[in-house]
Chains A and B, each alone.
Chain A
Amino acid sequence: MAEISQYKVAAPPHAGSGDSVRRTMLDVLIALLPCLAAGVVYFGLYALLLVAICTATCFLSEQLFNLARKKPFTFDCSALVTGVILGLNLPPRAPWYIPVIGGVFAIVLVKMLFGGLGKNFANPAATARVFLLLAYTGTMTSMVAADPGNLLGTDVAAGATYLSGGADAFLPVFLGKDGYWANVLQSFLGQTGGSIGETCALAVLAGFVYLCVRRVIDWRIPAVYVLTAAVMVLICYQSASEILLQLLSGGLLFGAVFMATDYATSPKWRYNRVLYAVGLGVLTVLIRAFGSYPEGVSLAILIMNLTVPLMDKYILPVRFGQCTKKGRPKPEIMKWSMRGLCFAMALSLAISVPVLAAQPHEYQYVRSARVSEAGEYVVDIGGTFLIGQWEQERAYTVTIDPDTMRISDISPVKENTMGYVAELSMFVGKTRSEIAGMTDLSADTEFSATVTNTALKDMLLEGFDYVRREMGGGR
């Protein structure tokens, strides 16, 4: 049979797509670079050091495990991906041992003990994050405020995320703007407290686009995850304005793009992936809204990972030309129900967001408003506040200049005779964003008080909002 071994023979197909595991992992690493860069810009070089420690730990622990098991070393870059993702999930000022413990946990316990690449039952980074959150709750939830350009990270103030601290997490004035859209912009650019890599939605989106163009991840998982989360926020918070803030805060986008799409722990069929992403969205928002942790992404991913083998085993694609036992074409129930579900969610969002946004605002302090003969806006504001341990009523009449949208006059209608009057001169002549940006409200004069000033500030802001929204001021 000499003639048979003449040429190299291999099974068809003889062509290949040129994809390889290492190339895929490198693509993920490239997609993570914008997040890493954003993390360094906002949280300093120490954040980079944490990610580096985590990556090195993951790589080394995988090789040490291979050595101990007498297996060949693996250079497929998957440990690097786990390391960078876990590193970007850490708080910016975590002590050095946190990434070390997390990295060893992720690689050895979650990945290698179950058979290495492709055999892990849950996303190593998500599992390690949940483990660290439980084991080092204090460390893992203490965030610092973003400080762009402060690379050495000196004098960084503690900061809260929107999820843990509410609206206080936002700067009153961001890039010269204030109000809701300024908060959204701030979240989008990521200049808030949070884990190293997850705050900047812009960077995450850049990575998402790259991964989709390179066909590394299935776009369905992040897209449906975000869509479901938006619908769930709408249901749980009954507010349209909450949607963007919730989606842009915490690790939702980062988790959706980089952790939920992990190959080994996401379903293989595209409509199973839709179901999985719907589950992720539902769980995430339920945990955020009703759970005891502010952040639900890692936990949701961990839980949904556990359901993946079940989905893969029992929800199968309908084969081309597959028939039922009666010989009829088998209906593609999963495909059409998932498509219908997504369509219904998108439709419900499209209908309810404008409806909710168009709802009349409720005003706590504005009592009446009119346009004076001189064309100025005159707003009567008032409310009851806890001042000096008493419930006290305060009421003022505010005049706002329509051209400059500055306060031209504040006259007290009802002030207490017992003192604690507001320092009116502080506010006169200022715009809304200037007032919103005022932080030092301490009293100068004998009879004024910080509490009263703060109460007046809140009332004035609402007065401005009323003039803007209801009377068309400032257009």
Chain B
Amino acid sequence: MAMRKFCASFEVRDGQEGRIFLAYFSGGVHPHGCKERAASCAIGVCPEPQQFYLPLDRHIGAPAVPCVQAGERVLRGQIVARAAGRISANVFAPAAGTVRGVVGHISPSGKKTDHILLENDFTDECVSLPPLSERTPESVLARIAEAGIVGMGGAGFPTAAKLDVRGRADVLVLNAAECEPYITCDDRILREYTEEAVQGVRLALLACGAKRAVVGIEKNKPEAIAALRGACGEEIEVRPLRTRYPQGAEKQLIYACTGRKVPEGKLPADAGVVVINVHTALAIARAVERGEPCYRRVMTVSGGACGRPQNLWVKNGTLLREVAALCEGDADCARIVSGGPMMGEPVFSLKVAAGKTTSALLFLSEAETDRRAVQPCIGCGKCVQACPMGLSPTFIEDAVFRKDLAEAVRYGAQACIGCGCCSYVCPAGRLLAQSIKLAKKQIKERGIHG
């Protein structure tokens, strides 16, 4: 009897409560969560600034094209830039005010790109899209596109294009893993806006034509799991997952939630799966139910050098320094990061504007950052064990330094997901993730295939 139970725990079965699901990716790391400080704070609201710098390119695809003139008055929720093609996204005014024109402003990458400068008049007059009465896959998809929703986990792929899989997917996975340390915005959303998030999942199910949905969520968020269990019906399964980075990486999450492996070089839809983020689901629900377009998001502000860690509704176009001032972030801290400490981009200036994909702003103290001198590789192989994709980072680095790209391909450089586990574990402090990124870039440029 005990033996049968033991064997059964290894089986990959769907839709049953209480079984142990063991389709976990191998490798990965377990960084300190550091989520306690921000996770206990309810979502607040960041006060509106005097000026908004609305970025036009915070999504994958073509930058949006401005459709307002300098001097024109716009209302909150009014469209100010239209999507340029299918892989692009509309941009909306986050507040009522006067458009000052299209200006060049620094973006997170360091380049100056076009931003719409909006002068806030604090009247808060607003317009919204009409609530969607007739709900068909087409109308929901159209609304998602119209509301300018992009993947809000960080990548920023236009959600309408992602959900438009034309019946190829049978499972929708909601990515609530939030495996990056410090970030708690998805956790708070699931706790505070449970119904709306679940409604967003139902609408996404409708839009993509999948039959059932799975919520993949790490076990370190028991309150969110309890809330979800209460709100989810038959067609949505809540699946607590092992707390391990990168559990929220798309391919690893799909594997843990469905037991399917996305073939190398293919999209999740090829494995019959669509993945959306918690915040994206919330945005879908609000766009459909309330007609509210996507112009704000919840951002986690945290880190050891942050005086008041919290989760905030931040409108697009708010400069990060406004957020930093509110949360008492120490601008002289060791490093400021936009996003999580594992994959987030470093912030070189707080003049950068917040966008649809800015999920976190971290002020890391000296002790929290990794600033060791790079030493020669001692060959410990920890990077090979840690790689969730089964690559050999140290050999890829070696091959890149020798300019032997064919060898780098043989070790799997092109399959890297950039999670940074290899750099994280390296006792010699080598920048393995950077080297593989370089290899990937060069392989793409020269068109080398494995």
Contacts from A to B (Cβ < 8 Å): 3-21, 23-24, 76, 78, 116-119, 218, 263-270, 273, 312, 316-323, 327, 329
Contacts and interface: CB of A to CB of B under 8 A. Distances in A.
B251 interface: yes
Interface string B326-343: 000001001111000111
Contact of A14 (B29, B266, B337): B337
B433 A116 contact: no
Nearest to A266: B381
Given A12-B342, A15-B369, A264 B263 contact: no
A173 to B, nearest CB: 45
B384 A269 contact: yes
A76 B375 contact: yes
A317 B392 contact: yes
B349 A7 contact: yes
Given A317-B392, A322-B390, A11 B378 contact: no
Contacts of A18: 370
A117 B394 CA distance: 15
20 contacts: A5-B348, A9-B335, A10-B371, A11-B433, A12-B344, A14-B368, A16-B370, A16-B429, A21-B378, A76-B375, A78-B378, A268-B379, A270-B384, A273-B381, A312-B395, A317-B392, A318-B390, A320-B25, A320-B264, A321-B415
Given A3-B106, A117-B376, A118-B379, A11 B431 contact: yes
A15 B390 contact: no
A319 B433 contact: no
B263 A327 contact: yes
Given A9-B348, A15-B31, A117-B378, A268 B392 contact: yes
Interface residues of B, number: 70
A316 B342 contact: no
Nearest to B373: A20
B334 A13 contact: no
A321 B188 CA distance: 33
B346 A21 contact: no
Contacts of A14: 335, 337, 341-342, 344, 346, 362, 364, 368-370
Interface in B344-374: 344-351, 362, 364, 368-372
B376 A116 contact: yes
B334 A319 contact: no
B378 A264 contact: yes
Interface in B381-416: 381-382, 384-385, 388-392, 394-395, 410-412, 415
Contacts of B106: 3-4
Given A8-B334, A20-B428, 15 more contacts: A7-B348, A7-B349, A9-B346, A10-B346, A10-B369, A15-B364, A19-B425, A24-B378, A117-B378, A269-B385, A319-B389, A320-B252, A320-B255, A321-B262, A321-B415
A265 B389 CA distance: 24
B263 A321 contact: yes
The 9 A-B pairs with the shortest beta carbon distances in the complex, nearest first, are A16-B370, A268-B381, A13-B420, A19-B427, A118-B378, A264-B379, A317-B390, A15-B341, A319-B390
B39 to A, nearest CB: 18
Contacts of B394: 268
B175 interface: no
Contacts of A322: 264, 390, 412, 415
A121 B262 CA distance: 38
A208 to B, nearest CB: 17
A350 to B, nearest CB: 17
Contacts of A20: 372, 427-429
B378 to A, nearest CB: 4
Given A3-B349, A13-B423, A317-B392, A268 B384 contact: yes
Contact of B346 (A7, A78, A265): A7
B359 to A, nearest CB: 14
A16 B29 CA distance: 10
Contacts of B346: 7-12, 14
A118 B377 contact: yes
B86 to A, nearest CB: 26
In the complex, which of the residues A8, A18, A218, A266 has the most CB atoms of chain B within 10 Å of its own CB atom?
Answer: A8
B364 A321 contact: no
B172 to A, nearest CB: 20
Contacts of A76: 375
Interface in B59-115: 106, 110
Contact of A263 (B181, B378, B426): B378
A155 to B, nearest CB: 45
B263 A13 contact: no
Nearest to B372: A20
A316 B381 CA distance: 13
A308 B350 CA distance: 49
A89 B290 CA distance: 76
Contacts of A218: 381, 385
Contacts of B431: 11
B444 interface: no
Given A15-B341, A15-B370, A320-B389, A329 B263 contact: yes
B375 A21 contact: yes
Contacts of B139: none
Contact of A21 (B351, B371, B415, B428): B428
B376 A323 contact: no
A267 B426 CA distance: 16
A264 to B, nearest CB: 4
B372 A263 contact: no
